[in-house]
């Protein structure tokens, strides 16, 4: 396993849509394993391919931070089938360090994804698990949590975000 570099806001890969995965092999397993290790080293609850500069539709979630009896899980080619309810909760992101804001998201979601073996799975997630899934899926579509903020929230965070973007821009 290896800890991968986490890219930060300002890096163009964060704004790109990730590609579907069609090869379920040892390389994919290694990527998932490295992403889980990276997420845990940086104390994250989730990590998407885009965040480690890999434009593939994969993300990982550390369910052990939600329920100590659970383990980290990999999601390949994830999608949301249905959304219900609404919840407001503070979010942060490993790619936008030291920036947190309240984001409204669906409270319960029905999802579909593939396992590392390519098996298609459907399940329902709620509360924090649903929030993290939505946050990570946004990453795979080039969307950041700050894109969900009101104009006022964005205005208040503007100095911090501008500083981070300038520090991490590859332009």
* Token output for 3: 């800890």
* Token output for 156: 């208040």
Q: 13: which DSSP letter?
A: G
Q: Which residue among 119, 136, 158, 166 is the active-site one?
A: 136
* Residue 157 host element (H or E): helix 151-168
**74 contacts 32 by C-beta, under 8 angstroms:** yes
Q: 71: which DSSP letter?
A: -
Q: What is residue 122's three-state secondary structure?
A: strand
The alpha carbon dihedral of 110, 116, 18, 65 has a sign of: positive
Q: What is residue 119's three-state secondary structure?
A: coil
68 part of the active site: no
Q: How many residues does the chain have?
A: 171
Catalytic residues: 136
């Amino acid at each position: 396993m290896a800890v991968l570099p986490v890219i930060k806001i300002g890096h163009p890969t964060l704004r790109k849509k990730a590609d579907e995965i069609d090869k379920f092999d040892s390389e994919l397993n290694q990527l998932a394993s490295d992403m889980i290790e990276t997420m845990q080293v940086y104390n994250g609850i989730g990590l998407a391919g885009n965040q480690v500069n890999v434009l593939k539709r994969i993300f990982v979630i550390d369910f052990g931070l939600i329920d100590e009896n659970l383990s980290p899980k990999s999601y390949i080619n994830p999608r949301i089938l249905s959304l219900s309810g609404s919840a407001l909760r503070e979010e942060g992101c490993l790619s936008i360090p030291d920036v947190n804001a309240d984001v409204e998201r669906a409270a319960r979601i029905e999802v579909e994804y593939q396992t590392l073996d390519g098996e298609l799975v459907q399940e329902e997630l709620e509360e924090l698990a649903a929030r993290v899934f939505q946050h990570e899926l946004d990453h795979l579509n080039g969307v950041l949590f700050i894109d969900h903020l009101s104009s006022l929230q964005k205005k208040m965070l503007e100095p911090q975000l501008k500083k981070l973007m300038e520090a991490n821009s590859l332009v």
